[in-house]
Amino acid sequence: MKSALLQNYLRYPVEFVEGKGSKLYDKSGRKYLDFLSGIAVTGFGHQHKEITDAVNIQLNKLWHVSNLFVATPQEELAAKLTISTGLNSVFFCNSGTEANEAAIKFARKWGKDRKTIIAANGGFHGRTLGSLSATGQRNLWSGFTPMLSGFTFVDFNNLEQIKSSIDENTCAIMIEPIQGESGVIVPSDNYLTELRNICDENNLLLILDEIQTGIGRTGKLFAHQFCNIIPDILTSAKGLANGLPLGATICSEKVSDVIKPGDHGSTFGGNPIAVAAANKVIDLLTDSQLDSIKTNGRLIKELISDIDTTLIISVRGKGLMIGIEFSKPIAKIIANALLNKGVVVGNSGDTVLRLLPPFIISKNDIHNFVKIFTSVLAKVSFSNRSTDIVNIN
């Protein structure tokens, strides 16, 4: 039967109908190991008891009343997010791209006459027009131009380019602490700290897009907390409500001060059910949970680095956000082969495999993954010594 869905996604021919912990089950009951977490979303896995209970309680009480009324659970979540980041106030929305749309608007309002935002080549901030205009991947603009004006692009991890791009129109720098979609690109240790200094010296806002790196993924609540800096605007989504749609734009005092009633809004933003899940998610991200994310991330990287193969040229990332770069364009083929073996992973382009396992992953799951991954790599062969014709037998 012809699909009635818009064909904007390339879908794997597998349908998952149930999940439990780090496992997914397809229609035939086949079990898969989830090393993708719905692209860095279901950090606490599937059917997590405490999150499900919190959602069920809210589900049976009240679904929606709009943002015209007082919302104590939103207040509680906002307090948790501001206290843990040193920021001042939160706008809730439903997705990552919306969180960034708000960030762009807030920065423009704060900047008054200065409207230009510096963003990074290879960066990804979402698919709506504002966020897409801030996304430094020209291929994603194709067919949708003109983009919004007011964005300047520099190379990621290049401080000199940023400094020389600042002019009298610049109001902010918008950056991911680790570029996720373009292949888990980790900048130098001093990058964010230097960005903070540059922003302070030039009276610019530092906007950190932690939609993928946040909510524990890297082993800190937010990745910038490895550097002891505080951004002016911090965006979050993905893992925030463990799979329910919720985004957050977390603002410093000086940004909060310029936003007035009516400046921005969302019908569904901060929906009580998603907020109930998020309140539980934040409570569950204890220091010991964050430590185990770091330890398990290190273990995965060590075990993969130990694999005897010339196909892997780099294993990188922080916590449970890991990229494996291949010497050849085999990432999609490897992801497919792993899926056939019952393991779900992602890829960034042709050369990087992305691992985003849930935080509740066990050592056993990790060893199983490495065993299956090693066996898949061992079967890769190239026809006619070509770089791009590959077989996995």
Ligand X SMILES: Cc1ncc(COP(=O)(O)O)c(C=O)c1O
Chain positions contacting ligand X, by CB under 6 A: 95-97, 100, 124-126, 176, 180-181, 209, 211-212, 237
Which CB atom, from 209 or from 232, has the smaller least distance to ligand X? 209
What is the nearest approach in angstroms of ligand X to the Cβ of residue 175?
Answer: 10
- Smallest distance, ligand X to C-beta of residue 86, A: 21
- In 3-state terms, what secondary structure has residue 199? helix
CB of residue 176 to ligand X, shortest distance in Å: 5
How many whole angstroms separate alpha carbon 133 and alpha carbon 149? 8
Which tokens hold the place of 116?
Answer: 């230009």
Residue nearest to ligand X (CB): 96
Comparison of 176 and 365: residue with beta carbon closer to ligand X: 176
Q: Compare residues 180 and 216 and give the one whose CB is closer to ligand X.
A: 180
Could you tell me which residues come within 8 angstroms of residue 206 by beta carbon, excluding any fewer than 6 positions away? 172, 173, 175, 195, 196, 199, 229, 231, 232, 233
Query: How many beta carbons lie within 10 A of that of residue 218, not counting itself?
Result: 27
Minimum CB distance to ligand X, residue 182 (Å): 10
3-state class (DSSP) for residue 355: strand
Q: Which residue, among 295, 307, 299, 355, has the nearest Cα to 331 in the 3D structure?
A: 355
CB of 299 to ligand X, least distance (A): 24
Beta strand segments in the chain, E: 16-20, 23-26, 31-34, 89-93, 116-120, 151-154, 170-175, 205-209, 233-236, 247-251, 312-318, 321-326, 343-344, 346-348, 352-355, 380-382, 390-392
User: With respect to ligand X, which residue has the nearer C-beta, 237 or 345?
Assistant: 237
Task: Kindly tell me which of 98 and 365 has the beta carbon lying closer to ligand X.
Answer: 98
Minimum CB separation from ligand X for residue 339, in Å? Answer: 20
Nearer to ligand X, 140 or 258 (CB): 140
Instruction: Output 135 or 279, the one with its CB closest to ligand X.
Output: 135
Q: Would you tell me how many other CB atoms lie within 10 Å of the CB of residue 156?
A: 20
Widest Cα–Cα separation across the chain: 67
CB of 97 to ligand X, least distance (A): 3
Bridge partners (DSSP) of residue 316 are 323
Question: What end-to-end distance do the CA atoms of the chain give, in Å?
Answer: 31
